[in-house]
Homo-oligomer: A and B are copies of this chain.
């Protein structure tokens, strides 16, 4: 991430191990303490680095937690289960499994809350977390079109709007179920949800 400005070629390089240790320590602190009681000094101690090192790399708590949580979403990928319905179910379960982890819950929601007052933070979240999920929606559609389960899109503009709608519905429902309702996203729920979504989209396409 910080290689946006090509790294300086001279001087002592930043320790990649320290980066990993800090992010791991941040996640551990999120699990034990939650967002509000997490202190940067504590994270530094857990990671075995000096507090100043932490401040040299991240501007503050928000940015640090975004990076720590973003790593959790690296494992997200679109499984090929043979049908569009099964693919969606797989993604829902995968996403839910990540959200079930306490560090993901408390960390992600807290930075989202802060992002309402900080556009730069929202952009960081979008780039490192949200877009990674959105990509799955687009890939899933392409794959379903290749299978012949979906017609090729006629109007690219309305296709983009539909993709956005799907994304908000899927991610929103899973997050709400996990976080607000505090009930598990199990096979039963994922199946019922997927069915409603697919039939709704099919019906809307027929009516249009």
Contact = CB atoms under 8 A, between A and B. Distances in A.
Interface of A: 33-36, 61-62, 102, 105-110, 112-114, 116-118, 122, 125, 130, 161-162, 164-165, 167-169, 171-177, 179-183, 189, 192-193, 195-204, 207
A116 to B, nearest CB: 4
**Count of this chain's copies in the oligomeric assembly:** 2
Contacts of A204: 192, 195-196, 199
Contacts of A114: 34-36, 106, 110
23 contacts: A34-B117, A102-B116, A107-B113, A109-B109, A109-B110, A110-B113, A112-B180, A122-B182, A125-B180, A130-B181, A168-B176, A169-B176, A171-B180, A172-B176, A172-B177, A172-B180, A173-B173, A175-B176, A195-B207, A196-B200, A199-B202, A200-B201, A200-B203
